[in-house]
């Protein structure tokens, strides 16, 4: 695995830190790694094994924060149309697409679940903050999610992709405002948005409003123009941006006919690159600290000088001195949007509260 570091060379590495573990308040540098690597498609146990090897390697370089690509656990179904490549018609079911979805559903993970427990154990073993892209399974619906873990081995929570793109809407459900977290850690305030939802100005503003400092952007977009979006976000938010993407060849997916690629004219050869990566780390001033890498699987690592955040905010604080709330403001509905609720549950909660009040007298 190649290590790609920032061009500035060796900056200071902070001593090992733990969530709420009394981090050195004078420490101002964080070593962070974005992972550029492919899922072992349809093989979640093997993907978890690969994730652990990559985390161990990153920790060996002194990294305190490790960020994985979108859908690393569970896989990004690149090239698959799930039977909807020609026409979208419920009256003409695409049986092959349904079989593909069944396999994809089996590769997803429950949150919480045994795979989450294992990821938490990895974060604890290698003493890193871990940001992991997964395909989350809740019943029979899948979500593209990011999970957060601390160095004590605690699962902190998740972000569900609010707006899947194009054919993603066939296979993934929609997140809501209840999973747009920013975690206040000894390394800084960490949060994430996934792929093209990073283009949603109001969603970004919600993270800025929570004070995000280390902005993680797992993605599946390897086009050069993606770099412009990442640089803009770093400048707009006055934050570090860490974008992780997979580097994949056709051979990283199952062979045909088990898995067929669309959009290439003909079935690509085993060594054809189907996702070129482009993972990158950018400073609040817009400086590229490491990457973008389009060469292969790699660990892209840089030292983040947290003092740069304050220096960037001097010029532009998007939700501070550069805001005009009397003209423009944002209201975020952060309540879970449940399709089914039961009045009896609310009545029991209310009764329990009333009983508690009565006992206090």
Tokens describing residue 268: 């690509």
Q: Give CA–CA dist 145/241, Å, rounded.
A: 18
Q: Give the residue from 313, 310, 306 showing the smallest Cα distance to 26.
A: 306
Active site residue 236: no
| Pairing of the two strands 2-5 and 298-305 | parallel
Question: Which architecture does CATH list for 2-330?
Answer: 4-Layer Sandwich (3.60)
Q: What is the pLDDT of residue 177?
A: 96
Rg of the chain over all Cα atoms, to the nearest angstrom: 21
Rounded CA separation 49/115 (Å): 11
Q: Could you list the pLDDT tens digit for every one of the 361 residues in the chain?
A: 666 654 434 333 322 223 333 334 455 899 999 999 999 999 999 999 999 999 999 999 999 999 999 999 999 999 888 877 544 344 454 677 888 899 999 999 999 999 999 999 999 999 999 999 999 999 999 999 999 999 999 999 999 999 999 989 999 999 999 999 999 999 999 999 999 999 999 999 999 999 999 999 999 999 999 999 999 999 999 999 999 999 999 999 999 888 888 877 788 899 999 999 999 999 999 999 999 999 999 999 999 999 999 999 999 999 999 999 999 999 999 999 999 989 887 667 666 666 655 554 4
Exposure string (b/e) for 226-244, b if CB count within 10 Å is 16 or more? bbebbbbbbbbbbbbbbbb
**According to the model, what pLDDT value does residue 349 have?**
63
| Distance, CA of 111 to CA of 339 (rounded, Å) | 19
Given the residues 52, 56, 57, 70, select the one marked as catalytic: 70
Using alpha carbons only, give the angle 102, 174, 50 rounded to the nearest 5 degrees.
55
Query: What phi and psi, each to the nearest 5 degrees, are found at residue 25?
Result: -70, -15
Q: If 0-12 CB within 10 Å is exposed, 13-18 middle and 19+ buried, where does residue 84 land? A: middle
Integer angstrom CA distances of residue 247 from 115, 269, 299: 23, 16, 11
């Amino acid at each position: 695995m190649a290590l790609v570091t920032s061009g500035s060379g060796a900056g200071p590495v902070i001593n090992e830190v733990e969530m709420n573990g009394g981090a050195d308040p004078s420490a101002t540098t964080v070593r962070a790694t974005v992972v550029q690597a492919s899922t072992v498609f349809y093989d979640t146990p093997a993907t978890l094994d690969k994730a652990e090897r990559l985390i161990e390697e990153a920790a060996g370089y002194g990294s305190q924060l490790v960020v994985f690509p979108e859908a690393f656990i569970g896989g990004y179904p690149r090239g698959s149309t799930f039977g909807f490549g020609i026409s979208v018609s419920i009256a003409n079911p695409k049986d092959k697409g349904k079989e593909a979805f069944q396999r994809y559903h089996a590769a997803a993970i429950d949150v919480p679940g045994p795979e989450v427990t294992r990821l938490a154990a990895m974060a604890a073993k290698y003493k890193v903050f871990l940001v992991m892209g997964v395909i989350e399974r809740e019943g029979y619906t899948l979500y593209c999610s990011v999970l957060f873990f601390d160095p004590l081995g605690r699962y902190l929570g998740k972000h569900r992709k609010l707006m899947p793109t194009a054919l993603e809407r066939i296979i993934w459900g929609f997140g809501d405002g209840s999973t747009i977290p920013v975690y206040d850690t000894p390394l800084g305030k960490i949060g994430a948005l996934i792929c093209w939802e990073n283009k949603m100005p109001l969603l970004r503003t919600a993270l800025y409003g929570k004070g995000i400092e280390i902005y993680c952007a797992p993605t599946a977009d390897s086009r050069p123009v993606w770099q412009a979006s990442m640089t803009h976000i770093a400048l707009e938010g006055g934050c570090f941006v860490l974008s992780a993407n997979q580097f994949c060849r056709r051979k990283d997916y199952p062979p045909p006919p088990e898995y067929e690629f669309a959009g290439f004219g003909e079935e690509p050869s085993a060594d054809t690159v189907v996702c070129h990566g482009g993972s990158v780390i950018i400073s609040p001033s817009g400086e590229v600290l490491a990457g973008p890498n389009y060469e292969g699987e790699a660990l892209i690592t840089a030292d983040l000088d947290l003092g740069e955040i304050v220096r960037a905010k001097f010029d532009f604080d998007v939700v501070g001195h550069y805001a005009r709330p009397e003209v423009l403001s944002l209201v975020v509905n952060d309540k879970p949007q449940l399709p089914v609720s039961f009045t009896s549950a609310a009545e029991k909660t209310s009764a329990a509260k009333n009983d508690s009040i009565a006992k206090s007298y």
